[in-house]
Amino acid sequence: MKGKGKMMIDARNLTKVYPNGMRAVDGVSFSVKKGVIFGFLGPNGAGKTTTQKILCTLLKPTSGEVTVAGYDVVREASKVREVIGVVFQDPALDEKLTGRENLEYHARLYGMDGKEIKRRIRELSEFFEFGDELDRLVASYSGGMRRKLEIARSVMHDPDVLFLDEPTVGLDAHTRRKLWNYILEMRKNRKLTIFLTTHYIEEAERLCDEVAIMNKGRIVAGGTCDELKRKFGRKSILISFPSLEEKEKALRLIENISGIRIITERDRDVEVQHPDMDEIVLMREIQNTLLNRVEVVEMRMKFPSLEDVYVELTEDTDGGGSGHSIGGFVVRRMMHVG
C-alpha cells in the first residue's frame, strides 16, 4: 500500500459552500477501510458529485478534514492523485487512438516504464478478456467495451483507491452484470478499495460492503445493506387477488381500516402498511375485513429492500430533524468496516 494510513478514505465534518451561498455538502463524516466497496447513494443534487470531486482533489472543501490513502486532499493533493484511479460518468477515452494506445498514454502520465507498461497491459488484457480488441480504434467500440477499457485504464498504475462514478449507466443488463463481476474480482484479487456512486439500487446491493445515503448535503444513513434495512425499513403486507375486480372490491374494504397506507398497486397485487400497527396484527385485521367478501390468492409479509429504505429516507425531506441526527458519530461508528 502506497498510502500512509490504515483508513483509505476518512472525511470529518466535510463542508462545501459555493460562492452563491449554496451549501452542497453540510458537515459530512464517514470513513472507509482498505478492501471495502463503498456505495454512495442519493438523488440528483444531494451532494454526491461535490463530495467525490473533493475526494479526487478536483474541488477544495470549504472546511473539514479529508484524507485518501492517508494523504490530505488539500495539502497533499499530488500524492492523492498518485494513489487513486477515477472512472468518470462521462466518457474520457481518445476515440482516435486504439485501446492499447489509450492504456499506454495513461501509463506514461504516471511515469511507468516501457517494460512495466507491457506487463500491466498483458495482465489487464487477460483479466478483462480484451483479446484483439485492444488494437482496434476506440471509435469502433461498443458501450460495454468502452466502459471496460475506462476501468482498465483507471487501474493501469495500480492505485490504492478506485472511484467509479455511475460505471454501468446506459449499459444493457448482461453487460452490466459482467462489469459487476470484474469489479468484485478486482477487489478480491488486490484488496482494492472502491468508492462507487450509482443510481442503480440493485447495483449497490450486489457490490457494496456498505453504503451511505446522502440527501440535501447530509448523510442521512450509513452501514451495510442489511443494517439499513433492519434499522430504517418497515415490513409490509402483500396481497394477491385472482382478478382486478376482486382487487378493486378489496381496496374499497381495506381503505376502511383507519390509518392504513396503500404503498403500491401492481396488476392484481396490493402492498399495504400501517404506521402504528404491528404487521401480524395488521394481517389479521385485513383477513377479518376481507373474510367471506373477497377471494384472496395469497397474503404474505414482505420484508423491506434497500430501495424501500432509500425512497423512505430521501423523498421530500427538509434536510433537518432525524436526518441530521443520524449523521456525525452514529454514522461514523456504523461505517467502520473491516
Judged against a pLDDT cut of 60, whether residue 335 lies above it is answered with no
Alpha-carbon distances of 270 from 146, 241, 256, 273, 290, rounded to whole Å: 42, 8, 15, 10, 13
Judged against a pLDDT cut of 50, whether residue 221 lies above it is answered with yes
Judged against a pLDDT cut of 80, whether residue 266 lies above it is answered with yes
131 φ/ψ sector (left φ>0, alpha ψ -120 to 50, else beta): left
What's the pTM value of the predicted model, to 2 decimals? 0.79
Banded pLDDT at 301 (limits 50, 70, 90)? confident
Q: Return all residues near 111 (Cβ < 8 A) that are at least 6 apart.
A: none
Of 157, 148, 145, 133, the C-alpha closest to 185 is 148
- Alpha helix (H) residue ranges in 129-159: 143-154
Q: Is the dihedral of CA 238, 244, 245, 248 positive or negative?
A: positive
Distance in angstroms (rounded) separating the CA atoms of residues 79 and 82: 5
204 φ/ψ sector (left φ>0, alpha ψ -120 to 50, else beta): alpha
Out of 137-146, 232-241, 303-312, the most confident range is: 137-146
As a CATH number, domain 234-303 is 3.30.70.1710
Which carries the bigger pLDDT value, residue 276 or residue 29?
A: 29
Q: Tell me the domain boundaries of the chain.
A: 7-83+159-230+310-334, 234-303
Banded pLDDT at 315 (limits 50, 70, 90)? confident
Query: What's the rounded mean pLDDT across residues 152-171?
Result: 93
Query: What's the rounded mean pLDDT across residues 268-274?
Result: 91
- Mean pLDDT value across the chain: 88
pLDDT tens digits, one per residue of 242-257: 999 999 999 999 988 9
Query: What's the rounded mean pLDDT across residues 270-289?
Result: 90
pLDDT tens digits, one per residue of 254-264: 988 999 988 88
Query: What's the rounded mean pLDDT across residues 72-87?
Result: 96
> What's the CATH number of domain 7-83+159-230+310-334, 3.40.190.170, 3.40.50.300, 3.40.462.40, 3.40.640.10?
3.40.50.300
Banded pLDDT at 316 (limits 50, 70, 90)? low
Judged against a pLDDT cut of 60, whether residue 227 lies above it is answered with yes
Q: Are the beta carbons of 104 and 43 closer than 8 angstroms?
A: no
Q: Are the beta carbons of 138 and 149 closer than 8 angstroms?
A: yes
